[in-house]
Amino acid sequence: MITVREVSKSFLNQQVLNQASFTCQKGEIVGLLGPNGAGKTTLIRILNGVILPDSGEISINGYNPVTDGHNIRKVTGVVTESAGLYHQMNAIENLAFFADIYGVKRKSRIHDLLRQFGLDEHKSKLVGTYSTGMKKRLALAKALLHEPSILYLDEPTNGLDPDGISMVLSYLKEYNYQNGTTVLICSHVLHQLENVCSSFSFLDNGHIIDSGTLPQLREKYSTAIKLNIHTNMKIENGHAFGFPGEQLENNHIRVTVNYKDQISFLLKNILVNHWVHSVTIEEQDLETIYFKVRSGQHE
Amino acid sequence: MNRTIVKAITKKDIKDIFRSRTLLLTLILIPVIFCLIVPTGAISSILYFNFDLDADTQKMLDKFLSKVGNEEILAFSLQEQLVYLFVNYIMASLFLLVPVITASTIAANSFVGEKERKTLESLLFAPITAKELFVSKVLSSFIPAFSISLISFLLSGVIINVLSYPTFMELIFPSLNWIVLITLLLPMVLILTILLNVLISSRVKTYQEATNLGGVIVLPIIAILIGQVSGLFFLELSLLIILSVAIFAINLVLLKQIAKYNDRHLLFEKQI
């Protein structure tokens, strides 16, 4: 479990983290979201004990990174934005080197990971000749070598093509499911994380401005419910029984109600003279919520 | 201290030397110039060509004879005296440039090389103590620089003995001076050069900065060389021992400083 309470950090009078607080339960995949320069990378570095916070309290599985950094680093895997690989070495040499560093005895794990991340064919090529996506996949393999109980991933999908993104994210989800690994993913590519993370924390100007699961955040930031209805009713004058609506293609209309109780009222009225084949609530996606959270903060 | 970690980093760094053609070329050229070309040229021209003793050389020889000349040396011919002076004093200070230049070149790259390749972050995120990291980096410079120095010493020995044997009719190398230099002064100079350069490398942001600052270590060796050539002082046995002890003391102070600044957080923040 990761607990961060009112952590602040400055570099040369520039405040990077400002009383940031959040919690990540054991086995959770948490998305740490925020724009570039929000303090995500600094937070990961502080959590791993490589830089010291100016103030605040942190607990990682009961350890304090300031005093027990070494114990934390033994059980954490990190993918940094720059991948941190040796370009003059090939994939096997890179993984063998880090296996020694992390005390990995089972060398077959190197080949298993190379296979899992689709790098088996390229294992003897110098990493300097790899594409960004291949480097990212190898960096993830490196982070998973010692089967860490906590994974910090800083922009893990940067530079990956759609297939690579899908491969990495589904592997992470599966890995988390099988091993109960706690995963903290920093990203600003929101749509990729929607189906991977169990909760989200929004970081802006060094401060966590809100946290929660997607349903919790939807509940909190939903100002209206958008219904997509498959019906032969047509929207005229932009309204349907007093609710704002719009005509969509192929016998679909979109009507916006303010409360869930109003859905039955609307449908009852439509069904008097029209057929209704389906009704779906258009959920707000993570990106919409993200901008609402941030705009709320800046208002 | 985790030996597997130290071994892994040291092995990687030493392999990297062989991966970099420029670095490898520097490490080959330095001993070839100072321990092969220079002694071959100097001894051959003294013994096998019509060596013309100019006024400056005569002055240097006179000072040498007045300061270190013993019965054995005074009994030598002029050419033998010059060879003896070159082999035991000028060549000895030239030889010291080999460990200093090779160790500086390797050690200056130790931390800053990882910084420039953005791999230092990976090492600092790993369960490696700052001490293990420093020890690994010192060993990564010491092992190759010491090996190159020993090879250079052997190379010089062969050259000197082959060229001088027909004249002296005995092996003049290594003298007691050389044995003390190799066993005492060389390790001390190597450790000093490496500690200084590793410390600089861990504090600066580019390799160029590290080499510019670390290059200062060559100056005392140049001063020793000038001392020999000008006849101001000579690298006698007593001076070799005093120098070794003095550098040993400086190394202890440097080690203490490194232990004091041997801070993971500082190392990390210095690379941002």
Q: What is the ipTM of this complex?
A: 0.87
Crossing angle of the two packed helices A132-144 and A162-179, in degrees rounded to 10: 10
Asked if the Cβ–Cβ distance from A51 to B268 is below 8 Å, we say: yes
> From edge to edge, which strands make up the β-sheet containing A14-24?
A14-24, A2-11, A55-60
Once rounded to an integer, what is the mean pLDDT over residues B4-11? 96
DSSP A51-65: S--SEEEEEETTB-H
* Distance (Å) from the alpha carbon of A81 to chain B's nearest alpha carbon: 10
Smallest Cβ distance to B119: which of A49, A74, A86? A86
Cβ(A44)–Cβ(A152) below 8 Å: yes
Q: Residue B75 and residue A27: Cα distance in Å, rounded?
A: 86
Residue B209 sits at the chain A interface (C-beta within 8 Å): no
Cβ(A81)–Cβ(A155) below 8 Å: yes
Test mutation, B5, B125, B128, B129, chain A, max A CBs within 10 A: B125
pLDDT tens-place string over residues B135-191: 999 999 999 999 999 999 999 999 999 999 998 888 998 999 999 999 999 999 999
* Distance (Å) from the alpha carbon of B24 to chain A's nearest alpha carbon: 15
Residue A177 sits at the chain B interface (C-beta within 8 Å): no
Instruction: Tell me what pLDDT residue B72 has.
Output: 80
A39 φ, ψ (degrees, to nearest 5): 115, 10
Instruction: Tell me what pLDDT residue A293 has.
Output: 79
To which H or E segment does residue A243 belong?
A: strand A243-248
> Residue A232 corresponds to which tokens in the numbers above?
């032969």
Query: Contacts of residue A100 in chain B, CB cutoff 8 Å?
Result: 4-5, 7-8
Asked if the Cβ–Cβ distance from B126 to A45 is below 8 Å, we say: no
Q: Residue A211 and residue A5: Cα distance in Å, rounded?
A: 13
- Please give the mean pLDDT across all residues of chain A: 89
Q: Residue A246 and residue A240: Cα distance in Å, rounded?
A: 9
The β-bridge partners of A225 are: A257
Residue A149 sits at the chain B interface (C-beta within 8 Å): no
pLDDT at B197 over 70: yes
pLDDT tens-place string over residues B51-110: 777 888 888 888 888 888 778 888 888 888 889 889 988 899 899 999 999 999 999 988
Residue A297 banded pLDDT, cuts 50, 70, 90? low
Asked if the Cβ–Cβ distance from A50 to B7 is below 8 Å, we say: no
Q: Residue A150 and residue A239: Cα distance in Å, rounded?
A: 51
Instruction: Tell me what pLDDT residue B244 has.
Output: 96
> Residue B218 corresponds to which tokens in the numbers above?
């060559």
pLDDT at A93 over 60: yes
Cα of B196 vs its chain's centroid, Å: 13
Once rounded to an integer, what is the mean pLDDT over residues B23-27? 91
- Residue B15 burial (CB count, 10 A): 14
Instruction: Tell me what pLDDT residue B183 has.
Output: 95
Residue B126 sits at the chain A interface (C-beta within 8 Å): yes
Crossing angle of the two packed helices B237-261 and B186-203, in degrees rounded to 10: 30
Once rounded to an integer, what is the mean pLDDT over residues A232-251? 90
- β-pairing, A225-231 vs A252-257, is antiparallel
A62 φ, ψ (degrees, to nearest 5): 90, -5
Instruction: Tell me what pLDDT residue A34 has.
Output: 85
pLDDT at B10 over 90: yes
Instruction: Tell me what pLDDT residue A255 has.
Output: 93
Q: Which of A74-78, A247-251, A279-283, B237-241 is predicted least confidently?
A: A279-283
Instruction: Tell me what pLDDT residue B271 has.
Output: 61
Q: Does domain A2-212 have CATH number 3.40.50.300?
A: yes
Residue B59 sits at the chain A interface (C-beta within 8 Å): no
> Residue A62 corresponds to which tokens in the numbers above?
């009961």
Q: Residue A23 and residue A262: Cα distance in Å, rounded?
A: 36
pLDDT at A299 over 60: no
Cβ(B24)–Cβ(B17) below 8 Å: yes
pLDDT at A298 over 60: no
Once rounded to an integer, what is the mean pLDDT over residues A96-107? 94
Q: Residue ranges of the domains in chain A?
A: 2-212, 223-283
Provide the whole-model pTM: 0.85
Q: Residue B156 and residue B169: Cα distance in Å, rounded?
A: 18
Specify the higher pLDDT residue, B161 or A292.
B161
Share of chain A above pLDDT 90, in %: 51
Asked if the Cβ–Cβ distance from A50 to B268 is below 8 Å, we say: yes
Once rounded to an integer, what is the mean pLDDT over residues A230-242? 90
- Please give the mean pLDDT across all residues of chain B: 89
Specify the higher pLDDT residue, B114 or B229.
B114
Test mutation, B7, B119, B123, chain A, max A CBs within 10 A: B119
